[in-house]
């Protein structure tokens, strides 16, 4: 199937937003080398998502491909990331989700390697960036799941916890997943989470 079958305006806007998001994430150091992936849900239910193996800070239009809701490429020869299934899972679970971001920051990687099944964030003003949070005087739990190269199996572990994730989640020693109703909302959520993780890492250095 050729990409030309997609509504040109929606697809082109999605590609532009993904390229811009990749550059922003790269500027913060959240997508080193070829790490990370970025997607947007298209009006027809298919996804625009970064191609496997590309540097997210150097994306061109050919660095974004289309897959269906199950993660299968719609153009012969396109190769999506193995982690595309985790994007598909989020969209299937949350009909309001319009964009998903996955990054590999130093803070998320290091903190998740210290053990535990979650990071608890509390008494930070920036917590209010997360849906349903309207005060710093709250506890936000960010689940941590063990890394697994079997993405189908990993998605099965993540699935029962998706309802309670107002801030996204972390794969241990790997990175974070965050999403929102559109790209702006997803970026705000990711930036808020990464700021708070960086604060936690700096605070632990002072102990």
DSSP 44: T
Cβ within 8 Å of residue 140, ≥6 positions away: 120, 121, 122, 127, 130, 133, 166, 167
Could you tell me which of 66, 64, 82 has the C-alpha nearest to residue 74? 66
Angle CA 127–130–132, to nearest 5: 105
Tell me if 116 sits within 8 A of 175, measured CB to CB.
no
Q: Which two tokens stand for residue 20?
A: 């811009």
Residue 87, annotated as binding a ligand: no
For residue 185, the SS3 value is helix
Residue 102, annotated as binding a ligand: yes
Which single residue is written with the structure tokens 């996204």? Answer: 168
Phi-psi region for residue 56, left (φ > 0), alpha (ψ -120 to 50) or beta? alpha
Residue list, annotated binding site for Zn(2+): 102, 104
Residue list, annotated binding site: 102, 104
């Amino acid at each position: 199937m050729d990409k030309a079958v997609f509504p040109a305006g929606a697809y082109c806007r999605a590609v532009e937003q993904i390229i811009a998001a990749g550059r922003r994430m790269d500027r913060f150091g959240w997508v080193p080398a070829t790490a990370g992936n970025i997607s947007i849900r298209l009006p027809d239910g298919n996804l625009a998502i970064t191609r496997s193996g590309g540097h997210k800070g150097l994306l061109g239009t050919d660095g974004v491909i289309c897959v269906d809701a199950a993660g299968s490429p719609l153009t012969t020869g396109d190769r999506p990331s193995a982690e595309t299934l985790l994007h598909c899972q989020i969209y299937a679970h949350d009909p309001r989700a319009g964009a998903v971001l996955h990054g590999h920051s130093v803070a998320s990687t290091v903190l998740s390697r210290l053990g535990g099944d979650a990071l608890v964030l509390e008494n930070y003003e920036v917590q209010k960036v997360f849906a349903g949070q309207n005060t710093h005087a709250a506890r936000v739990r960010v689940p941590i799941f063990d890394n697994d190269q079997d993405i189908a199996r990993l998605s099965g572990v993540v699935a029962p916890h998706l309802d309670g994730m107002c801030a996204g989640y972390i794969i241990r020693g790997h990175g974070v997943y965050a999403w929102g109703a559109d790209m702006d909302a997803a970026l705000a959520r990711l930036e808020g989470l990464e700021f708070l993780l960086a604060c936690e890492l700096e605070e632990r250095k002072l102990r």
